[in-house]
């Protein structure tokens, strides 16, 4: 049996690569997914004919051949030697045959993969299955909600992800066991061991007005983790926490988890805890398509000498980090403040900017810093 959500997802993706209309029909000949939404739910006579015969393919060259069926190619969908549906591509048969064959092969491959994955999921525990739906699969929001409902998890609560990086699985298991003893850990808190060195917790935020929720969230997380942090300190267990974004819909939890992973992979500091909302500027700059960044700044690569680019990176690494406080930045760079003043004024004149005095110049400096940093292949956060 064809999964309607999966078929619609396939149509959505394939639409980016071809202008031809594609229909997918179930074992009853009913269109269940189409690039033309008005056709969904319609009976497709040719599809019904194919399913209830031994035919593999039927080409329609004239729309008068069958009422309501446009010219095109319709082919049986076969998975594990079972005829489970039909895929049709609209157009002149001679022109679209290679496309139609590719679409048929793609949808059959996808269905085989999905069926194998579903079989794997069925062999997992309900909680492991929910984790896959929530953070890895994330294909169908209805499926996620059903799995959450089976475990008693509510979708309407505000949760925030806490990704914990430890040394080995024994620490990870012990960490989760101990953190569950916190008085803020409720039955609605979602927690998993992800691998030998990572655990994830979607902590339920206290139900109060959002203004105070956002203002106090770091304190609330600190309170939630206080006992386990003491245990780690006493036992000399190194750890680092990455706090993602607030969410109140399971469909967005994968993005919240990816915010945690972005922190782990991009923000390097001596802090024990990094918060996504402290680095949103860097995150969104990081996600600007490289082609757009290049189109805006490529001339700077050719016009600014490698030595000046390196000086810019070194100087603005400290300035950005310290909110353009020259005294604190000079400490980070281990140079006298007068030396930093000289460097700053040199770069200020080179680019005709004054980020200390201008918010728009600060935006420019951060973007140019990111561009030079990416071009150099360096991580300086």
Report the 10 Å Cβ neighbour count for 349. Answer: 10
Query: Does residue 251 sit in the same domain as residue 316?
Result: no
149 domain-assigned: no
The torsion region of residue 323 among left (phi > 0), alpha (psi -120 to 50) and beta comes to left
Query: Does residue 90 sit in the same domain as residue 22?
Result: yes
Query: Does residue 12 sit in the same domain as residue 63?
Result: yes
> Residues for the chain: how many in total?
381
Confidence of residue 2 (pLDDT cuts 50, 70, 90): confident
Cα 189 from Cα 282, distance rounded (Å): 29
Query: Does residue 279 sit in the same domain as residue 296?
Result: no
Burial letters 242-252, b for 16+ CB under 10 A, else e: bbbbbbeebee
129 domain-assigned: no
Q: What is the pLDDT of residues 268-288, one digit of tens each?
A: 888 999 999 999 988 999 899
**Coil/strand/helix, residue 194:** coil
Closest CA to 89 of 99, 77, 76, 78: 99
- The tokens describing 372, both together, are 């030079």
Torsion angle (degrees, nearest 10) of CA 265, 270, 272, 278: -60
Query: Does residue 316 sit in the same domain as residue 349?
Result: yes
Strands (E), the chain: 22-25, 31-34, 57-60, 72-79, 82-90, 159-165, 190-193, 198-204, 240-243, 273-275
* Residue at a domain's end among 285, 301, 324: 285
151 domain-assigned: no
pTM score, whole prediction: 0.63
Phi, psi angle pair for 330, to nearest 5°:
-65, -35
Q: What is the pLDDT of residues 183-213, one digit of tens each?
A: 889 999 999 889 989 999 999 988 765 566 7
State which H helix or E strand residue 205 sits in. Answer: none
Query: Does residue 260 sit in the same domain as residue 297?
Result: no
DSSP 136: I
Cα 7 from Cα 122, distance rounded (Å): 21
Query: Does residue 260 sit in the same domain as residue 346?
Result: no
135 domain-assigned: no
- Which domain range does residue 346 map to? 288-376
Query: Does residue 281 sit in the same domain as residue 297?
Result: no
* Residue at a domain's end among 259, 285, 311: 285
On the 0-12 / 13-18 / 19+ scale of CB atoms within 10 A, 16 is: exposed
24 domain-assigned: yes
pLDDT of residue 324: 94
Query: Does residue 304 sit in the same domain as residue 358?
Result: yes
pLDDT of residue 380: 45
pLDDT of residue 16: 79
DSSP 156: S
| CATH number where 103 lies | 3.30.450.40
pLDDT at 229 over 50: yes
86 domain-assigned: yes
Report the 10 Å Cβ neighbour count for 24. Answer: 25
Query: Does residue 249 sit in the same domain as residue 308?
Result: no
200 domain-assigned: yes
pLDDT of residue 9: 85
Give the total number of structural domains in the chain: 3
* Residue at a domain's end among 261, 285, 309: 285
138 domain-assigned: no
Lowest mean pLDDT among 215-219, 258-262, 314-318, 343-347: 215-219
């Amino acid at each position: 049996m064809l999964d309607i959500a999966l078929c619609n997802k396939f149509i959505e993706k394939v639409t980016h690569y071809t202008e031809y209309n594609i229909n997918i029909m179930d074992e009853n000949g009913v269109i269940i997914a189409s690039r033309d939404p008005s056709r969904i739910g319609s009976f497709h006579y040719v599809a019904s004919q194919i399913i209830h015969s031994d035919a593999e393919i039927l080409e329609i060259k004239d729309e008068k051949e069958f009422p309501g069926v446009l010219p095109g190619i319709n082919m049986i969908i076969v998975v594990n030697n079972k005829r489970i549906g039909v895929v049709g591509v609209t157009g002149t048969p001679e022109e679209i045959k290679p496309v139609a064959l590719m679409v048929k092969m793609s949808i059959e491959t996808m269905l085989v993969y999905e069926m194998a994955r579903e079989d794997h999921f069925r062999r997992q525990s309900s909680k492991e299955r929910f984790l896959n739906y929530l953070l890895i699969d994330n294909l169908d929001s209805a499926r996620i909600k059903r799995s959450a409902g089976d475990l008693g998890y509510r979708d309407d609560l505000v949760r925030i992800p806490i990704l914990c990086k430890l040394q080995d699985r024994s620490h990870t298991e012990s960490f989760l066991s101990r953190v569950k003893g916190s008085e803020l850990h409720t039955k609605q808190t979602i927690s998993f061991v992800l691998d030998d060195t990572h655990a994830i917790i979607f902590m339920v935020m206290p139900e109060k007005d959002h203004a105070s929720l956002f203002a106090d969230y770091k304190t609330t997380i600190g309170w939630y983790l206080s006992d386990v942090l003491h245990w780690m300190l006493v036992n000399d267990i190194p750890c680092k926490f990455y706090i993602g974004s607030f969410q109140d819909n399971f469909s967005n939890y994968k993005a919240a988890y990816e915010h945690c992973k972005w922190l782990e992979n991009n923000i390097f500091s001596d802090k024990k805890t990094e918060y996504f909302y402290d680095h949103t500027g860097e995150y969104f700059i990081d996600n600007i398509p490289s082609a757009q960044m290049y189109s805006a700044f490529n001339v700077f690569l050719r016009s600014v000498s490698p030595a000046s680019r390196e000086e810019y990176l070194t100087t603005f690494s400290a300035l950005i980090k310290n909110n353009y406080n020259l005294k604190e930045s000079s400490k980070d760079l281990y140079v006298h403040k007068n030396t930093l003043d000289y460097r700053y004024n040199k770069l200020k004149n080179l680019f005709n900017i004054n980020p200390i005095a201008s918010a728009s110049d600060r935006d420019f400096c951060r973007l140019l810093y990111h561009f030079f940093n990416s071009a150099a292949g360096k991580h300086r956060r």
